[in-house]
Structure 1
Amino acid sequence: MKFISKHTAIVYLIISLVWITSTDILIDKVDITDKLYDNLQFIKGVIFSVVTSILIHFIIKKHNAHKKAEENNNELSILINSMPDFVSFKDGKGRWLKVNDFGKELYTLENIDYVGKTDTDLAEMVPFFKDAFLYCVKSDKEAWEKGVLSRCEESFPVISGEIKTFDVIKVPLYDEDNNRKGLLTIGRDITQLKAAETMLLRKEKLSVVGELAAGIAHEIRNPLTSIKGFIQLMKESKQSAPKEHFNIVLSELDRINQIVSEMLVLSKPQSKTYKQFQLNGFINHVLKLTNHEALLYGIELDFINKSGNPKLYGDSNQLIQVFINIIKNSIEAMPKGGTIKIVTEKNSDRINISIIDTGHGIPKDRLERLGEPFFTHKEKGMGLGLTISNKIIHEHKGSMEITSEVGVGTRVKINLPIYNME
């Protein structure tokens, strides 16, 4: 604006001098009366005043518009700098235009001229964040390809050594001709939230293990009774024990070891490991873990396979927790015993897994609130089972639907994608 004002003043001065000089020369050359001369001078002055007024009006209008734009820009800067989130603007070619104070501090850009630089340039200028900047190149490309608001999670180490996780929203902007205009990126620090989720997931998992302990203890007590009996028999017998007795003892010890190993796998905190696995083997493993508790309540678990044996992809340990939670709820809803059906059905490229009980059912008002954090009618538990289960299923690109009728029973239908190797 200062350049425009200075430039305009020089042009105005030159035009004014040319106008005054040239009109005076023309008027002096013409043989006219004094009265006409005075009239021409007056007209010249009026024209000069009108043009000057129009020019001053234009300058004032331009100045006010610039001042307002500057005020808006300052307000916007104050707003984004006061935000506890990362905010950045890039042009259509991925060059940084503006980043708020949070972003400067996060990437240590306070003393770096980042304007006009791409993520690739900044990766060389700030080597510590090289991987983070190069990942931004990839995520920005994906955002442009989608052409609409996109959301993802990004994790990277910061100067303090902590691993930060951000919930990132990218908004691609286009001009009237649908050309790339800019990219707005907003990142919210969810590191503490993810840590809290992990802790709650671990607590809920351990809670499940604790509640299953009664069934496991009952299952372990049976082989222990057999072992104790044979040991006492061997001790009292004056003859050497038959080989079959040793085989039975070893077999029962192996059985105990298997039960304990299954519980350790379930309770052990593990990082997410996504890989393919067979559906039938997965369901049978869940049934082995829950069958102990079901037997205590006189409940039979019936696996009805209508889908063959498709492959799924995901973290089987997390999905095991989901199915155990659901089956446990069904067991608790059937104090008089009965049968819980686990039915698998193939639906195009997805699989439906239904857990159906004949328990007392769930009233409509409670059914609507199922899945809300800390909503529970149990004396024990934190009310996080279904909340966490929903989250796990969602992360596996699936869905969970619960239908129930009081006095009839409850059906929980989980829909997951079938793994396609192509």
Structure 2
Amino acid sequence: MMKEQVTFMTNIKNLRSNRFWIVYILLLFAFLSLSLLVMMFDWDKLLSIALLILSIGMLIFFVYRISLFYKEFCKLEEEEEQWSALIHFMPDFVCFKDGQGKWIKVNEFGRKLYQLENIDYYGKTDLELGELSPFFKNDFNSCYTSDENAWNKGTLLRVEESFAIPSGDIKSFDVLKIPLFYPNGKRKGLLTIGRDISQQKTAESMLLKREKLSVVGELAAGIAHEIRNPLTSIKGLTQLMHESQNVTDEYVKVMISEIDRINQIASELLALSKPQSRKHNQVALTDILRYVMNIMEPEALLRGVELEFKGAEHCQIEGDRNGLIQVFINLFKNSMDAMPEGGIITISSEIIGNKAFISISDQGVGIPPERLKKIGEPFFTLKEKGMGLGLTISHKIIQEHRGTIDFQSTENVGTKVTMTFPLG
């Protein structure tokens, strides 16, 4: 039986003060010895009897306390067996290491996972186990690194770890590492608990593939619908010119316009699908917003729209300037289109925690609730002449910046778009 099978009771220290019991036992033997000496040398019999009674009383008390200790030991040992059985049969990886990173105890799941059934792992570090089990050497080295990260952090560390097993499968684990310290700050131990999420990851991957196929289907249907309309116009005009043998400038202008429309659809689809080589540098969101406002100011004046910038803070993020300009121009245009009678567009920026919040609010017609949830889907648009790809592209750019975008709208009141970006 391996060393770790030694019960937890062998490691229990100081159930009560050791110093107290050492002194107590010494006094007991001293009283017994003194009472025997008094009896042997026929000294004061009363003193001898008193010492003997005191010694017997102390002995009875000692036996009583030993019996209590024994019951306490049995209770603790029973609890230890229950906890050991619970940990042993858990479907999760559970491992305890000492303050030097040496393996002290691991449950059955962990032994089978790392094939440690025939390896005496007790008292060995991850690096030493890597030498004993070459297949898992890189994985043990990774464990050593993440353990150090947990020690340095000083609090619970949650990581996701994946590695191959001899069967060829990839195992993924949601791992919790809990460092323990003595009161003086010295390392005491490290508890590691890992939950197998391999099936969950596989299911997520399959779901993602299904979603991609669904999006491809939606895109195909949208492309067919959007291109069919201008093609129908071009076909009709071509047939009309063929039958009448009359080519007019008006027909040609319409055909060129429809061809331009098809070209625009193709260009926006390419922008949506083709990976963009964006250069991410330190950029100031407020500066970009003011730049876009200057660009949009002439169009806003023509439409009777006032651009108002308030509550701005200097928000520095890691991002692509041109991509962000594209997003803001698209959102400004949407807000203007929603206010045919004019109004105010309010732009604000603020920092909350480690994120920058940008909001663009208009006083437009608003978006019905049933349509609000479709915002950003390919080919979904509220405009008569729109194609519904502008916001889809904006979503994509914001995701590339590890940001989020949210729409809040009330009909006949207006719409507020809120974007968040991690600070650079």
Output the TM-score relative to the length of structure 1.
Answer: 0.57
SS of the residue corresponding to residue 223 of structure 2 reads helix
The runs of 5 or more residues in structure 1 that have no matched partner are: 5-11, 234-247, 267-272, 281-303, 317-322, 372-388
Q: Does 1:69 align with 2:76?
A: yes
- Determine the structure 2 residue equivalent to 1:361: 367
How far residue 25 of structure 1 moved from its aligned partner, in angstroms, is: 4.7
- Determine the structure 2 residue equivalent to 1:319: none
- Determine the structure 1 residue equivalent to 2:41: 29
The 3 A distance-change label for structure 1 pair 393 and 76 is farther
Q: Does 1:404 align with 2:409?
A: yes
- Determine the structure 1 residue equivalent to 2:249: none
Q: Is the 8 A contact 2:38 2:48 kept in 1?
A: no
Which of 139, 161, 165 is residue 172 of structure 2 equivalent to?
Answer: 165
SS of the residue corresponding to residue 215 of structure 2 reads helix
> One-letter code of the match for 1:361?
I
- 1:101-130: CA deviation from partner (whole Å, max 9, x where unpaired): 222221122232222222122222222211
> One-letter code of the match for 2:171?
K
The 3 A distance-change label for structure 1 pair 169 and 344 is farther
Which of 179, 201, 204 is residue 208 of structure 2 equivalent to?
Answer: 201
- Determine the structure 1 residue equivalent to 2:194: 187
- Give the alignment of 1:99-138 within 5 angstroms: 99-138=106-145
* Aligned alpha-carbon RMSD (Å): 5.6
- Determine the structure 1 residue equivalent to 2:148: 141
How far residue 151 of structure 1 moved from its aligned partner, in angstroms, is: 1.5
Which of 51, 60, 67 is residue 60 of structure 1 equivalent to?
Answer: 67
Q: Is the 8 A contact 2:35 2:49 kept in 1?
A: no
- Give the alignment of 1:288-367 within 5 angstroms: 312=319, 361=367, 363=369
SS of the residue corresponding to residue 202 of structure 2 reads helix
The 3 A distance-change label for structure 1 pair 116 and 78 is same
Q: Distance in 1 between matches of 2:124 and 2:216?
A: 53
> One-letter code of the match for 1:29?
F
SS of the residue corresponding to residue 96 of structure 2 reads strand
The 3 A distance-change label for structure 1 pair 224 and 253 is farther
The 3 A distance-change label for structure 1 pair 274 and 70 is farther
Q: Distance in 2 between matches of 1:279 and 1:15?
A: 77
Q: Is the 8 A contact 2:130 2:138 kept in 1?
A: yes
Q: Is the 8 A contact 2:178 2:192 kept in 1?
A: yes
> One-letter code of the match for 2:75?
K
Which is further off, 213-222 or 54-63?
Answer: 213-222
The 3 A distance-change label for structure 1 pair 61 and 46 is same
- 1:23-76: CA deviation from partner (whole Å, max 9, x where unpaired): 54554435x6xxx54x45533432331232122123222222222221121121
Q: Distance in 2 between matches of 1:147 and 1:393?
A: 34
> One-letter code of the match for 2:180?
L
Q: Distance in 1 between matches of 2:408 and 2:107?
A: 48
How far residue 163 of structure 1 moved from its aligned partner, in angstroms, is: 0.8
How far residue 3 of structure 1 moved from its aligned partner, in angstroms, is: 12
The 3 A distance-change label for structure 1 pair 29 and 42 is closer
> One-letter code of the match for 1:208?
V
The 3 A distance-change label for structure 1 pair 132 and 275 is farther
SS of the residue corresponding to residue 79 of structure 1 reads helix
Which of 413, 417, 420 is residue 418 of structure 2 equivalent to?
Answer: 413
> One-letter code of the match for 2:367?
G
Output the TM-score relative to the length of structure 2.
Answer: 0.57
Q: Is the 8 A contact 2:315 2:350 kept in 1?
A: no
Q: Distance in 2 between matches of 1:264 and 1:401?
A: 22
Percent of paired sites with the same residue: 40
- 1:85-106: CA deviation from partner (whole Å, max 9, x where unpaired): 2222222222222222222221
